[in-house]
Structure 1
Amino acid sequence: MAYLNPAAGAAREGKRAAAQADMPAVTTTAAAGANPTKAEFDKVVTDLASARTTINGLLAKLRAAGLLAP
C-alpha cells in the first residue's frame, strides 16, 4: 500500500528491484518408460539448476532493493 501523506510520500515510496531474466524453457518431457534414461534425468538436473539460478537471482535483487532482509 502506498504511503498516503503527500508531503512525505515520495521519501517513503518503495524502490524497484533490478530486472531478472525469465527462466529458460523447460527441456524435459515425460519419460517414455517406467524408468527415466540417464539423458532424461540429466535434463531434469539441468532444468533444476536453471530454476535455482533464476530464483537466487530474484532473491538477490529483492535484497539489493531493500525489500528482503539481507
Structure 2
Amino acid sequence: MAYLDPAAGKAREGRQAAAQADMGAVTTTAAAGANPTKAEFDKVVTDLTAARNTINGLMAKLRTAGLLAP
C-alpha cells in the first residue's frame, strides 16, 4: 500500500522555496507641491524597480522549487 510507504509519502511532500530578501524601505514621501519634482519622481521609479525585482525573485524561486509552472 503506497500510503504506508514512507519513501512514497516523502516524494509527495512539498519542497520549500529558497529564501528571498525583504524589499528595502520605501524611499519616497508625499510630494510637497501639486506636481512632484524630478527627484521625487526618480525615487518612485527606484522603489518600483526594487519591488519588481523582489517579485520577480520570488517567482523565480517558486518556479525553481516546482511550485509554479515554468
| TM score, norm. by length of structure 1 | 0.89
Give the structure with the larger helix fraction: 2
**Shift of residue 6, structure 1, vs aligned partner:** 4.9
* Structure 2 gaps, min length 5: none
**TM-score, normalised relative to structure 2:** 0.89
| 1:30 aligned onto 2:30 | yes
- What is the rounded CA distance, in whole Å, between the counterparts of 1:29 and 1:59 in structure 2? 28
In structure 1, runs of 5+ residues without a counterpart are none
Structure showing greater Rg: 2
Shift, 1:39, TM fit: 0.3
C-alpha distance in 2 between matches for 1:6 and 1:46: 53
**Count of matched residue pairs:** 66
List structure 1 segments (4+ residues) > 3 angstroms apart after TM superposition: none
Q: Which residue of 2 aligns with 1:13?
A: 13
Instruction: Give the alignment of 1:48-67 within 5 angstroms.
Output: 48-67=48-67
Displacement after TM superposition at 1:36 (Å): 0.2
CA deviation string 1:49-69 (max 9, x = no partner): 000000000000000000000
Identity percentage of aligned residues: 82
Cα distance in 1 for partners of 2:4, 2:56 equals: 36
